[in-house]
Amino acid sequence: MRKFLVPVLVILAALLGYFGVHRFRTASPGAQEGVPLAAGTPRAIPGDATWPGFQGAGRLHGSAAFLPRAAMSIRWESRVGSGSKCSAAVTDGLVCVAGADGVVRVLDVLSGALKWKISTDSEFTAAPLVRDGRLHVGDADGVFRTFSLKDGALLWEYEAEDQFFASANLCGPNVVFGSYDSRLYCLDAAAGTLVWKFRTDAQVHATPAVDGRFVFVGGCDGVLRAVRAEDGSQAWSENLGDIIPTPPVLVAGAVIAGTMGGNVVCFGVENGWPRRWAAVFAEEDFYGGFAAAPGRGCIIAAGRRQALYCLDLSSGELRWTFRSRGGFEAPPVVGGDVVLAPGRDGKLHAVDLAGGAEIWSFQAGAPLMGALAIGSGVVVFCDENGVLYCLE
């Protein structure tokens, strides 16, 4: 009896140790850069085909046509460099990501197989922006590069006076992006020539939002600005009295921004003042950004210290709060009646849009600090250990 009991006790102890001690999921051993850690048989996946940049780019709604209520599972994983806060773009059957290791990678969305990679001497925190066969991304040394999506050939580069922390956005035939040199830049996307630049009073930390006529940008000077897309002149500005680290979101004729001091403020896009509403959460820090669900009349704000907040779009009134240990560094996305939020606790949380209850969660191997990308029916994101996950 003893010889059978000892192995059983060993197995039970191992299981208890695993479930009691392991807070984060451990990545598969022996993983190699550019080689999927796990992959199913490639197959067609229904859903949105493209996510060209941060929060879907454009108005930065962070919205997908559909997100499942059933728990998602891993399709594949791949290594992209440790210490990463990077985010991806998904387009044309490809996943595009630039990592903290200074490498730009393009992988197959179905299998995770590496298509090509380019190494630089810098590092990246921004999600690539992809359009018309070109991949645009800025680095921590202030160099903005554009590569051929097909093979990674360098098409052009532009050098600013300080780093690029956030992603670029589409603006007609151009790309717009902010720099820590306090400027907002607009460049011809094909040629890389300067169209205009606009100077603010401090670092531009976040991705600008674009609605065709205006480019909206906040910064470390605490000022929310509407800049004319045509010529880079300022249409209006509003001082929010605190650093604006969040990318603004444009929805229902309004522009909404958040501050590090816990304020979420809504203005009309045409003239700014008078503001439509303001919501104050004194213990919060709105760093990550927003997802918009105009069909449900709400936005979801990511609080870095504590929680997600669902706010009424017309009044700013709080509908619900979803708390998570460590809060949310990156913005959520929304699709149908589901909100997906990457947490600093290392979990991808699926939350019911109507009431704020958790539906399911996925435990990654480290905190989730970068934004999600939704495309070809999959969700792609990276953890701080540099593991890139593709869920379906």
d(CA 96, CA 372): 12
Contact in structure between 193 and 227 (CB atoms under 8 Å):
no
Looking at the chain, how many residues does it have?
392
Output b/e per residue, 301-331; b: 16+ Cβ within 10 A. Answer: bbbbebbbbbbebeebeebbebebeebbbbb
Q: What is the dihedral of CA 371, 373, 374, 377, to 10 degrees?
A: -130
Whether 20 is covered by a domain: the verdict is no
Contact in structure between 267 and 228 (CB atoms under 8 Å):
no
Question: What tokens does 388 get?
Answer: 């890139």
pLDDT of residue 80: 87
**From first to last of its 392 residues, what are the pLDDT tens digits of the chain?**
434 343 433 333 333 333 333 345 544 444 455 555 555 544 444 556 799 999 999 999 999 988 999 999 999 999 987 767 889 999 999 999 999 999 999 999 999 999 999 999 999 988 999 999 999 999 999 999 999 999 999 999 999 999 999 999 999 999 999 999 999 999 999 999 999 999 999 999 999 999 989 999 999 999 999 999 999 999 999 999 999 999 999 999 999 999 999 999 999 999 888 899 999 999 999 998 999 999 999 999 999 999 999 999 999 999 999 999 999 999 999 999 999 999 999 999 999 999 999 999 999 999 999 999 999 889 999 999 999 999 99
Whether 78 is covered by a domain: the verdict is yes
Tell me, rounded to whole angstroms, the distance of Cα 329 from its chain centroid.
10
Q: What is the DSSP letter of 296?
A: G
Whether 16 is covered by a domain: the verdict is no
The 10 Å Cβ neighbour count of residue 177 is 28
pLDDT of residue 82: 73
Question: What tokens does 377 get?
Answer: 């029916």
The 10 Å Cβ neighbour count of residue 284 is 24
pLDDT of residue 41: 45
Beta bridge partner(s), residue 214: 228
Q: What is the DSSP letter of 5?
A: H
Whether 31 is covered by a domain: the verdict is no
CATH of the domain at 176: 2.130.10.10
Question: What tokens does 268 get?
Answer: 């009309």
Residues in CB range of 1: below 8 A, 6 or more apart: none
The 10 Å Cβ neighbour count of residue 20 is 8
Contact in structure between 269 and 214 (CB atoms under 8 Å):
yes
Whether 3 is covered by a domain: the verdict is no
Whether 13 is covered by a domain: the verdict is no
d(CA 301, CA 276): 17
Name the domain count of the chain. Answer: 1
Output b/e per residue, 226-263; b: 16+ Cβ within 10 A. Answer: bbebeebeebbebebebbbbbbbbbbeebbbbbbbbbb
d(CA 18, CA 289): 35
Q: What is the dihedral of CA 83, 86, 90, 96, to 10 degrees?
A: -70
Tell me, rounded to whole angstroms, the distance of Cα 300 from its chain centroid.
14
d(CA 81, CA 97): 11
d(CA 377, CA 65): 10
d(CA 178, CA 374): 24
Whether 80 is covered by a domain: the verdict is yes
Domain containing 206 equals 38-391
Whether 6 is covered by a domain: the verdict is no
d(CA 224, CA 216): 7
